[in-house]
Amino acid sequence: MKLSLYIPTGTTSEFHGYTDPMAAFDKIRELTVAADESGFETIWAPDHFMPFGPPGAYVFEAWTTLSALARETTRIRLGQLVTGNGYRNPALLAKMASTLDVIARGRFTFGIGAGWYEDEYVAFGYDFPTAPERLKRLEESLQIAHSMWTEPSTTFNGEYFRTSGVVNQPAGVQTPHVPVMIAGGGEKVTLKLVAKYGDLCNVQEPPDEVARKYDVLAKHCETVGRDFGSITKTSTSYCIIADTDEEARAAVPPWAPMVFPGDLGAYGLIGTIDTIRQRLAVYESTGVDELIIGFQDALNPETIRRFAKEFITS
């Protein structure tokens, strides 16, 4: 199982108290370089514009951040966890992804989802349609992106989006196209979209639920004639390293239920080194190919290096 880093961009108020935005971004760069040097597979950046909580702390936009970090790294892959489909025109998104893949020299993964953070949509003036409509919009966006990456020109007339003879050059570096991660565990629609269009999936649930969702995905793959093994299965966890399990569980942040279903302290990477090793094994046993990890001590590069020494390079 590969291990990746959920890079802090400010969504959980990591930069609360910072008064110099350049110093804050330098910290993101320092963490990314540490992950690159330590053997992490990918850095994944959240596509949000405001913190999950009181306003005012710095939050950095994902696409421009990853473009900068692509030129500060040499090995590690980069992606979004995940782009909110409703925030940008889908043809523009496909063009941005193509360009970022070139900037990253073929190390980019295009992460996308239907979007969920209604407060953010409202604050930035975006429409927030119903969940079924957001998913329909997501499928149209995926169709446009695939065509723009693989066809000489794209004309698309959907219910929500249109293009007219759009030519996308360069289309990126990777073949047959930039890989796509689709996030979400919706059994009837989202996982079906993964089976049809995704190269990676992301299910952010407790491990037993992750395994069940992968089983659902496998059935969708069978229905559409897709090789289930061709899809990289990812999940997301959160790490708090402490001297005792009790100390670690007491430090679970109050915002955790917004993004991690259930009792995070009972299944996340929360505890001593030995406990974390056991929980990593549980994730791997569920079929996770790549586990994406956010850290409580998010701005400390030594935490990244310590984790890598224990679980990646040992």
Query: What is the tens place of the pLDDT at every residue in 290-313?
Result: 999 999 999 999 999 999 999 996
Predicted local confidence at residue 177, as pLDDT? 97
Q: Between β-strands 180-183 and 200-203, what pairing exists: parallel, antiparallel or unpaired?
A: parallel
pLDDT, position 98: 98
Residue 55 is predicted with a pLDDT of 87
Give CATH for domain 2-311: 3.20.20.30
Looking at every residue in the chain, the average pLDDT score rounds to 96
Helices 301-311, 273-285: axis angle to 10 degrees equals 60
Round to whole Å and give the CA distance between 55 and 159. Answer: 35
pTM of the model: 0.95
Separation CA 110–CA 98 (nearest Å): 9
List Cα–Cα distances, 170 to 35, 103, 174, 177, in angstroms. 29, 11, 11, 11
Cα 196 from Cα 216, distance rounded (Å): 14
Going from the C-alpha of 22 to that of each of 15, 28, 299, the distances in angstroms are 11, 10, 15
Domain ranges of the chain: 2-311
Residue positions counted in the chain: 314
Residue 246: partners with Cβ closer than 8 Å, 6 or more residues away: none
In this predicted structure, the answer to whether residue 53 has a pLDDT above a threshold of 90 is: no
Q: Which of 303, 291, 292, 308 is nearest to 30 (CA)?
A: 303
Q: Are 111 and 118 in contact (CB under 8 A)?
A: no
Give, as one character, the DSSP assignment of residue 55. T
Task: Give residue 247's Cα distance to chain centre.
Answer: 28
Sign of CA dihedral 307, 308, 309, 313: positive
**For 92-137, what is each residue's pLDDT tens digit?**
999 999 999 999 999 999 999 999 999 999 999 999 999 999 999 9
Closest CA to 185 of 114, 119, 137: 114
Write the burial class of residue 14 (CB in 10 Å: 0-12 exposed, 13-18 middle, 19+ buried). buried
Task: Outline where DSSP puts E strands in 81-161.
Answer: 83-84, 108-113, 154-157
pLDDT > 60? residue 314: no
pLDDT confidence bin for 258, thresholds 50/70/90: confident
What pLDDT digit, counting tens, does each position of 70-103 carry?
999 999 999 999 999 999 999 999 999 999 999 9
d(C-alpha 76, C-alpha 251), whole Å: 30
- What is the model's pLDDT at position 167? 98
Distance, CA of 273 to CA of 279 (rounded, Å):
10
Question: Over 70: is that where the pLDDT of 251 sits?
Answer: yes
Is the CB of residue 39 less than 8 Å from the CB of residue 69?
A: no
